[in-house]
Amino acid sequence: SGQSYDDNNIFAKILRGEIPAHRVYEDDHTVAFMDVMPQAPGHLLVVPKSPSRNMLDADPAVLANTVQVVQKLARAAQEAFEADGITIMQFNEPAAGQTVFHLHFHVVPRHEGQPLKP
C-alpha cells in the first residue's frame, strides 16, 4: 500500500550533488541543508541518504537515526540562533502538506512573538 519512491525528487538530486544546496551537516547516513524558502531564520531540513518517500515507508532504524540527528541539530540551532524554542515539522503525502517526496524533517528556530512565515 502507499506510494513508491521516485528518485527524480529534488532532495534526491541534492543528495547526488546534481543541484546545489547550503549543506550544514553531513555524516554517513544523513545530510542537513538550509530550506530555500525559510519560514524563520535558520530553517533547515534533515534528510536521510537512504531512499524513502516519507515516514510511512521508512525503515525504523533509518528513522531512529535521523531523529537523533534532528535532536543534535535542533540543539545546535537553538544555540546558534539564540532561539526561544524549536519547531520540528514532518509531512506525509500531499493531503498533509508534503511537497518533496524524500523523507525529511524541518528544524525551525523560533522566537517569542514571531510566527512562522507562510
3-class DSSP string for 62-109: HHHHHHHHHHHHHHHHHHHCCCCEEEEECCCCHHHCCCCCCCCEEEEE
Residue placing its CB nearer to ligand 5GP in the complex, 104 or 110: 104
- Under the binding rule (CB under 6 A), the answer on residue 36 touching ligand 5GP is yes
CA–CA gap between residue 51 and residue 28 (Å, rounded): 14
Stretch that binds ligand 5GP, among 57-65, 66-74, 99-107, 108-116 (CB under 6 A): 99-107
Question: How far apart are CB 118 and ligand 5GP at their closest, in Å?
Answer: 11
Neighbouring-strand partners of residue 88: 107
Task: Answer for the pair 69, 46: CB distance below 8 angstroms, yes or no.
Answer: yes
Q: Which stretch binds ligand 5GP (CB under 6 A): 1-9, 34-42, 56-64, 109-117?
A: 34-42
Q: Is 104 a catalytic residue?
A: yes
Q: Where along the sequence are the contacts to ligand 5GP (CB under 6 A)?
A: 10, 21, 33-37, 45, 91, 97-100, 104
Known catalytic residues are 104
